[in-house]
Amino acid sequence: MSEIKYKRILLKVSGEALAGEKHRGLDHDIIHSVCRVIKECVDLGVQVGVVIGGGNFWRGVKDGADKMQRSHGDAMGMLATVMNCIAVADALEQHGVKARVLTAVEMNKFAEYFTRDLAHRYLNEGKVVFFAAGTGNPYFSTDTGAVLRGVEIEADAILMAKNVDGIYSADPNVDPTAVKFDELTYDEVLARHLKATDTTAMTLAMDNHMTMVCFALADPNNIIRVIRGEKIGTTVKED
């Protein structure tokens, strides 16, 4: 374990990343590549919690904008995260890793209801724990849900695996002069209005002194590199 920097992590995976080039639904090749890396983490002794977005099925704000009531759109987004967690947990079991799906709203036919103590128990048993349905409330993103669960399970760091390889001064897809940051403080992210997470998630991380590492999931092995302390993506922490 001496080679491991983070012994308990909360891994946030964007739903869009699981869709691959199809942009909707699930790409099982990508899912299994992620599961192989999660298994490697578990084999190294790392305790892993996972939050998955739902954007490959439904984005409440984007898909439901001006067409339906916001709370209803967000509820559909929460259900999308449950589907993703069930799918990835199933794939992980195929790789020989025990997994449990805990949800922020009760749906006992599909998953167990989240409590902090239950999550701790499963993590200490070496199981990978998936946290589905966000915070269980509308108007909160899965990024905020990820930080919340990371704080609750006392993770050493939150790993934000997204479609971009770090935090930039501007959108690199729009501005070719955008500069990537290797390290930032919470205050810098908030003051510059950088697009790392939503403001609520970043503020929650700051208030609880939670280290966050933002990197690209394009190469799932980046997850291993981060937990070993390699300089991947952008690290956000206190001064």
Q: Which domains does the chain have, with CATH numbers?
A: 8-237 (3.40.1160.10)
- Cross-strand bridge partners of residue 215: 161
pLDDT in tens, 183-212: 999 999 999 999 888 899 999 999 999 999
Helix and strand element counts for the chain (H, E): 9, 11
Q: Is the pLDDT of residue 1 over 80?
A: no
pLDDT value, residue 91:
98
21 or 182: which carries more pLDDT confidence? 182
Q: Cα-flanking dihedrals φ and ψ of residue 38, to 5°?
A: -60, -40
User: pTM for this structure?
Assistant: 0.94
pLDDT value, residue 66:
75
The average pLDDT across 54-62 equals 83
pLDDT in tens, 113-149: 999 999 999 999 999 999 999 999 999 999 999 999 9
